A and B are shown apart, each in its own frame.
Chain A
Amino acid sequence: MLAKLTHPRIGGLLILSLIIALLPLALPNNYYYDVAIKIGINAIVVVGLNLLIGYAGQISLGHGGFFGLGAYTSGILTAVYGWPPLLALLTGVAVVGVLSFIVARPILRLTGHYLAMATLGLGIIISIVISNEDWLTGGPDGMYVEPFTLLGWELYGEKPWYWVIGALLVISVWMAMNIVDSPAGRALRAVHGSEVAAQVVGVDTTGYKVLLFVVSAVFASVMGSLFAHYSGFITPAQAGFFHSIELVTMVVLGGMASTYGALVGAVLLTVLPQLLSGFEDFEMVIFGLILMLTLIFMPKGLVPTLTHKLKDWRGGRS
């Protein structure tokens, strides 16, 4: 039993659930709830993106575009056309799923910098389209989005949203860790380790890469939709280049190929701007500096570096 608890999947999920359950005791007001919800939304996207970047070794600088596409599909279909939010969300999933599937095959044939370039281009095109088609999207000024309703029940206010996002986060982490520790997951990690070795034992590496790209894009789309309903207001920035960079940075900073690293990255990079907003003009300088220094001194990211240190320290003691 004890051995089961220390297993990262079970023990870690238990700790994560406990933190989510107990955190409200420490949240003094809605502002803090708001930050916690934003952490959760980012974390879910990043957990999905980490599967692609951290485990399968495929860079994407365009996931902000998928997030934005999900957000705007939900926003437009509910506000302009009066669709029910769940149907709008699922339509967003379909749109993003089909788009990412169509571009995935030619894009994922590319490696390294070319892949970075292609995904970056795709994300930028999506954000430019959203900015320009102002008759539909409200353009750079953004648009208002209706609250999320399901079967007459309206999800409104920070506290209910906190529990919904918290539950989704636990489920996402559970699913991501399931994938990592499965035949499909090992195949994907083998793609990162040696693509040709994976191929010659029967792994359809392109097929898996495409599938994972689509799955991670859909993760982003769903969270984009939910974010739109939660915040009630969206701008093209949600689809922008910086949002994509932010998401990748969360993966890399927390630690690639570590699901809990992705969570830590999401917490840090969501909280940091809030803390730095007090520095006003110096916000960007400090943010850039922290990013550089962390990765120069811990190129593997926070969680893998720290767990390694901890293991060394334990090993040194015994």
Chain B
Amino acid sequence: MGAGRPLLVITAGCSGIMFAEFLQYLFSGMTIGATYALVGLGFAIIYNASHVINFAQGEFVMIGGMATVFLIHIGLPLPVAILGAVALAVVTGLALEKLAVEPARNADVVTLIIITIGASIFLRGLAQVLWGKEFFALPAFSGNDPIHLGGATLLPQSLWVLGITLAIVVALAWFFKYTLIGKAILATACNADAAKMMGINTQFILFISFGLSALLGAVAGIIVAPITLTSYDVGIMLGLKGFVAAVLGGLGSAVGAIVGGLLLGIIEAMAAGYISSDYKDAVPFVIILLILFFLPSGLFGARGTERV
């Protein structure tokens, strides 16, 4: 706890150390936060297309990391392994939509939640059968020599995580703004009935959304695997925290999910560093409860009056 720490720090050296510590937590928070953002973005995209919450989102993260490890193990070079793993996750996502979500489109919210939870248990079980229960490490993309910055150290992999996340966000923004299918997804999110009348195949949009979410999840799982290790059940917590990120930013808001994810990662790292690392995993849930109590539409969600 912080009881023994001086409240007022006078010497420059000491404040330097404190700053370095702060910077260290910020780096690790942003790194893990970027993965939450990608997972949260996946939740938001599917939610927008269908108002379905896909509780199997975390399993795409797991498939990304685990499949890459496996493909490297059978001798493929890293870039090929990554492409293969992403492809596997996307196919899984598309299959999930086609085989499990689409046939149950008109079911109750709770029923759909349980179906996606069933899918996540199934995928996790399959991973455990195929790849075992051990933890695996993925080699860092460009070595492990830490970079020193303001007294804190930064792993090159963290730069990869932040860089790739940024690249994906830019690519997504371009995709939604300039491609026909991207615009169709936005239109469906805005008003599914109107989109349908304009000739947009909303069923197909949902299909594509699952593929896109799986891609984002898999990328998140791959880039973070060299830092946090990966295993068959890594998807549970990452999935839940991604969901928290999406709700934190206001369900369905893409910008909200990204900011929510980063914020969540940073607060989590700060809380772990300054308060208690035992309660690191509880932090996102405490935050989300507070947000839901006091700002029920999330940080960026629109407040609307229900029409009667």
Contact = CB atoms under 8 A, between A and B. Distances in A.
Interface string B68-96: 00000000000000000000000000000
B282 A113 contact: no
Interface in B107-124: 107-111, 113-115, 117-124
B296 A114 contact: yes
A128 B113 contact: no
B114 A121 contact: no
A297 B288 CA distance: 34
A296 B115 contact: yes
B6 interface: no
Contacts of A283: 125
A124 B292 contact: no
Contacts of A288: 118-125
Interface stretch (B12-20, B179-187, B240-248, B263-271): B240-248
Contacts of A296: 100, 103-104, 115
Contact of B109 (A59, A245, A249): A59
25 contacts: A59-B109, A106-B293, A110-B292, A110-B296, A112-B109, A113-B247, A113-B251, A114-B251, A117-B247, A118-B288, A121-B289, A122-B289, A129-B282, A241-B236, A252-B114, A256-B111, A284-B121, A284-B125, A285-B122, A285-B126, A288-B123, A288-B124, A295-B104, A296-B100, A300-B111
Contacts of A180: none
B278 interface: yes
Main secondary structure of the interface of A (DSSP, over half): helix
Given A109-B296, A114-B292, A59 B129 contact: no
A281 B107 contact: no
Interface of B: 47, 53, 100, 103-104, 106-111, 113-115, 117-126, 128-129, 236, 240, 243-244, 247, 251, 278-279, 281-282, 284-286, 288-289, 292-293, 296, 308
Contact of A291 (B53, B121, B282): B121
Contacts of B284: 121
A6 interface: no
Contacts, number: 135
A32 interface: no
Contacts of A241: 236, 240
A253 B240 CA distance: 23
Nearest to B133: A281
A125 B117 contact: no
Contact of A128 (B103, B119, B236, B279): B279
Contacts of A114: 247, 251, 292, 296
Nearest to A251: B110
Contact of B124 (A132, A251, A284, A297): A284
B292 A285 contact: no
A116 B251 CA distance: 13
A196 B308 contact: yes
Contacts of B292: 106-107, 110, 114, 117-118, 121
Contact of B288 (A121, A245, A295, A299): A121
Interface in A261-292: 281-292
A248 interface: yes
Given A121-B288, A256-B110, A296-B100, 10 more contacts: A117-B244, A117-B247, A118-B292, A121-B244, A124-B240, A124-B285, A125-B282, A245-B114, A288-B118, A296-B115
B117 A245 contact: yes
Nearest to A109: B296
Contact of B107 (A124, A253, A295): A295
Contacts of B296: 109-110, 114
Contacts of B247: 113-114, 117
A188 interface: no
A118 B289 contact: yes
A239 interface: no
A125 B286 CA distance: 7
A117 B122 CA distance: 22
A54 B104 CA distance: 18
A288 to B, nearest CB: 3
Interface in A292-314: 292, 295-297, 299-300
A203 interface: no
Contact of A299 (B111, B113, B120, B125): B111
A54 to B, nearest CB: 9
A53 interface: yes
